Structure 1
Amino acid sequence: MKLAFSTLGVPGLPLTDVLALATAHGYHGVELRAHPEEPVHPGLDPARRADVAAGLKAAGIEVLGVAGYARVAAPGADEPVIDEVRALLDLARDLGAPFVRVLPGGGADQSPEEADATAARRLGTAAEYAADLGVRILLETHDSHRTGADAMRVLGLVGHRQVGALWDVMHTWLGGEQPVESHAALSPHLGYVQVKDIASADDTSPLPLGAGVLPLADVVEVLSRHGWDGWLCWEYEKRWYADAAPLPGLLTPGREHLTRLLNESA
């Protein structure tokens, strides 16, 4: 498996500095948070996109995914959401990223069936555009669809190879799923896996990998046992927790912890 970290852990940091961190601490790739407050987002013009792609290539660091904020199950009109997904797909194509992350974002006033159908309709439409660009859309286990079983309700309706799953291990755990259950649901559609650690279900402040309660060893074990050879991406949510320790000083211990788990499960 290859190791990456998300720029959510170093909010607003220039891309050159992000790539320097990845290189210095032994990571193979980065997940780029695609938000207007970040250096890389869908509003970049073609010249800037070319510069970003060249910088990634020169550093030898892969961009595994563009983490967008399109909420595909959210109430409202379809077209704005589909347009947002298409803009993320264009950005991913231009940067050489294989994946785009989208969120479910179902509303409290929707029935699960309505949220599922809304997400599946939008993802099915966007899938054809994704296929033309050679990029996959990944629905993250999150918010209204936090478990693998929840995500599979949508993915089963879509039934398109360009639409898959992003397994956020915190949300499936908070949803009451064991890693073996999440893997069984998501494995046919799995794009990559976001790892993290937290103190408890009541305190989701980010912690160094291995310092919290999330079953990371079980996640790595089930992935290894089934021969999965994709990305593990550390999503350290510093952006939302100002008091969390800075990520740069944790990157090497985090990589070492994941490497140890991989060796133990080999």
Structure 2
Amino acid sequence: MTHRLALSTLGLPGMPMPDVARLAGASGYQGVELRAHPEEPVHPGIGPHERAAAKREFEAHGIEVLTVAGYARVTHPLAPHELPELVRLAHDLGASYVRVFPGGEGTPDADERAVQQLTRAAQLAEDSDVRILLETHDSHRTGAAAGALLNRVNRKGIGAIWDVMHTWLGGEPPAESFAHLAPHLGYTQVKDIASAEDTTPLPLGTGVLPLAECVALLPADGWLCWEYEKRWYPEADPFPELLAAGRDYLAGLTGA
């Protein structure tokens, strides 16, 4: 088997789900990471009809809903419903994963809070056949930091997303990042940027991130998700126009 490819709807802000499904299929991707924010068509506030319709749309185009990309920050106090609602949305869509962030509070008390909140949510995730994945980001941007927190949770329903930009910005070599994250890894987010000072998204392979080195470390049957942060950089090139070339670039790295 070879890596399966997904695209993140962060690069397609506000695009209706039928259009996302058609675009992903036409561009040669097998999955989507859905940004689950009230700005978007799919988020925890939508009802059963909208959930079922979105699921049917992706199934009709042969596209897997890989992840519900939520915005829960687990080092911060969460409302009791926050993680359960994301897990239920993922379950209703047939998604394998829920994405959460650390949240920027890298203190012992905040880490303890994150461990407790993730541990409480683990059973529901496991019962729902969903994994909650902590992204390497903000206060836990390195594999060492995220892995240390996840080692304390140590539950099947909790894992990691390796965002290769953040570990690189944290000064961590890819082999070290992977060693820390491998026991927990759900999938890997790829992207490219011009420099540490200019993180405007670029077409894959045209920037400074060590993508080939990262991909070479990964299991051959895992997912790679291209997270193109158009939502935060409106001046970036339109994502749809880059998707086919990005697929070809990733296929070249993976030998597909």
What is the TM-score normalised by the length of structure 2? 0.97
Specify which of 97, 100, 105 is matched with residue 99 of structure 1. Answer: 97
CA drift at 1:118 = 1.1
Q: CA deviation at 1:172?
A: 0.4
Residue equivalent to 1:257? 249
- How far the C-alpha of 1:116 sits from its partner, in A, is 1.4
Q: How far did 1:243 drift?
A: 0.3
Q: Any runs of at least 4 consecutive aligned residues in structure 1 with deviations exceeding 6 A, and if so which?
A: none
Q: How does 1:39-118 map to 2 (within 5 A)?
A: 39-74=41-76, 77-78=77-78, 80=79, 82-107=80-105, 112-118=107-113
* DSSP 3-state at the match of 1:240: coil
Q: For each residue in 1:63-88, what CA deviation from the matched residue of structure 2 results, as whole angstroms up to 9, or x when unmatched? A: 110000000002xx44x0x4211100
Is 1:167–1:192's contact at 8 Å kept on the other side of the alignment?
yes
User: CA offsets, 1:204-249, max 9 Å, x none?
Assistant: 00000001000000011111xxx34110000000000010000000
Contact 1:117 1:157 (8 Å CA) reproduced: no
| Cα-to-partner distance string for 1:27-74 (whole Å, 9 max, x where unaligned) | 001100000000111111011111111111111100110000000002
Residue 22 of structure 2: aligned partner: 20
Paired AA for residue 91 in structure 1: L
Q: State the partner residue of 1:4.
A: 6
Q: Return the structure number with greater helix share.
A: 1
TM-superposed deviation, 1:106: 3.0
Report whether the alignment pairs 1:131 with 2:126: yes
5+ residue gaps, structure 1: none
Q: Give the unaligned 5+ runs of structure 2.
A: none
8 Å CA contact 1:31–1:64 kept in 2: the answer is: yes
Distance in 2 (CA, whole Å) between partners of 1:86 and 1:5 is 25
1:151 aligns with 146
Q: Distance in 2 between matches of 1:156 and 1:98?
A: 21
Structure 2 residue matching 1:209: 3-state secondary structure: coil
Please report the RMSD computed on the Cα atoms of aligned residues, expressed in angstroms. 1.1
Cα distance in 2 for residues equivalent to 1:3 and 1:35: 22
**Contact 1:116/1:153 (CA < 8 Å) preserved in 2?**
no
Answer with 111-120 or 189-198: which moved more.
Answer: 111-120
Q: What is the aligned residue count? A: 254
Match of 1:242 in 2: 234
Q: 1:172 aligns with which of 167, 175, 184?
A: 167
Q: Give 1:199's aligned residue.
A: 194
